[in-house]
Amino acid sequence: MLNYILRRLLMIIPVLIGVSILAFLLIHLIPGNPAVAMLGERATPEQIARLEEELGLNDPLYVQYGRFMARVLQGDFGRSIHTHSPVLWEMSMRFPATIELTVAAMIIAVVIGMGAGIISAVKPYSIFDYSFMGSALIGVSMPIFWLGLMLIYLFGVKLGWLPPSGRLSIGVELETVTNIYVLDAIITGNWVALKDALRHLFMPALALGTIPMAMIARMTRSSMLEVMRQDFVRTARAKGLPEKIVIFKHALQNAFLPVLTVIGLQFGYLLGGAVMTEWIFAWPGIGRWMFLAISSRDFPIVQGGILLIAMVFVFVNLLVDVLYSYVDPRIRYD
């Protein structure tokens, strides 16, 4: 196992190099000039040329890329063109918010999705099956921006049960330790802030978790139905084992590998930055941060953000592969 993990970690290096090259080239294909975006449309050509020289935008692309990678290897992702703050610092302030939102969304997706999938597989072609799978189809097809706006309108505006945006209400104080507000509230014992943070978290997490929830439900049902037809399940029932043990110990355990794959992939996608959800709910995470950076031609932020997303996705996939051997002892990597 250790040799496999080391080999996979070494494979990350060419992947990140390829991602960095593509990101660097694609960013420079975006229309617009960062110098003009910073100075404004009324800036003179002399001012624009002077700022381009200061930022190194006049150098050939391979020189700019080499300068960028040299900084990255030293742990320096550069400075934002607009705020002049270190990109790594801004990233560390926003990434915990994305982690909090993604974990909450995946908890909702896994609990509801797997529950619906198991019930649908145990009672196939029943009213429960048709209802859950129909809801899953709607969930996959539903645009996140529409669902987010409807949740805000219903629970935030009409009913007034939940706050429509942000992470904490004005006037609620919280001592930050990890910048993950729910965790910080638990660590510091601030139950008022915990309740407020959960109220702010529920709607964006539900909107973000809808598509993964539907995919997990459909995959769980499909995988469970296939396993339920196997001989070992019939044998377990013939031995007189309780139905709960047959379903959860024998069937679900053997059907979990495809579901785990979907969970890992969806978690990697969401953790990479849920742009639409963060934008609608004014959630200060990586997705919203990168969207604003692209709009303002802030190259260092976009490059650093894309590298972060690539690293997160690769490491999540590595973690899923390692978990395979624990879920199914027959899998060996050595």
Q: Are 172 and 196 in contact (CB under 8 A)?
A: yes
- Mean pLDDT in the chain? 83
| Nearest-angstrom CA–CA distance, 20 and 56 | 18
Residue 321 belongs to a domain: no
| Nearest-angstrom CA–CA distance, 167 and 171 | 12
Q: Please say if the pLDDT value at position 139 is more than 90.
A: no
The average pLDDT across 33-49 equals 72
Q: Are 279 and 147 in contact (CB under 8 A)?
A: no
Q: Please say if the pLDDT value at position 259 is more than 70.
A: yes
Q: What is the pLDDT of residue 108?
A: 93
Q: Which one, of 278, 142, 144, lies nearest residue 200 by Cα?
A: 278
The average pLDDT across 198-219 equals 91
Compare 151 and 309 and report the one with higher pLDDT: 151
Q: Please say if the pLDDT value at position 307 is more than 80.
A: yes
Q: What is the pLDDT of residue 266?
A: 84
How many angstroms from the chain centroid is the CA of residue 295?
21
Q: What is the CATH number of the domain that holds 147?
A: 1.10.3720.10
Residue 117 belongs to a domain: yes
Residue 215 belongs to a domain: yes
| Nearest-angstrom CA–CA distance, 56 and 291 | 23
Residue 28 belongs to a domain: no
Q: Quick one: pLDDT band at residue 81, thresholds 50, 70, 90?
A: confident
Highest mean pLDDT among 168-172, 189-193, 274-278: 189-193
Q: Which domain holds residue 120?
A: 94-286
Q: Which two tokens stand for residue 176?
A: 């930050």
The average pLDDT across 290-310 equals 81
- Render pLDDT for 242-256 as a digit per residue (tens, 0 to 9): 888 888 888 888 888
Q: Please say if the pLDDT value at position 32 is more than 70.
A: no
Residue 2 belongs to a domain: no
Q: Please say if the pLDDT value at position 229 is more than 80.
A: yes
Q: What is the pLDDT of residue 326?
A: 75
Residue 231 belongs to a domain: yes
Q: Please say if the pLDDT value at position 199 is more than 90.
A: yes
Q: Quick one: pLDDT band at residue 76, thresholds 50, 70, 90?
A: confident
Q: Please say if the pLDDT value at position 180 is more than 80.
A: yes
**Total domain count, the chain:** 1
Q: What is the pLDDT of residue 332?
A: 64
Q: Which two tokens stand for residue 40?
A: 């404004």
SS3 329: coil
The average pLDDT across 246-267 equals 85
Residue 159 belongs to a domain: yes
Q: What is the pLDDT of residue 234?
A: 83
For the chain, strand residue ranges (E) read none
Q: Please say if the pLDDT value at position 304 is more than 80.
A: yes
- Render pLDDT for 95-125 as a digit per residue (tens, 0 to 9): 899 999 999 999 999 999 999 999 998 888 8
Burial (CB count <10 Å: 0-12, 13-18, 19+), residue 206:
buried
Residue 246 belongs to a domain: yes
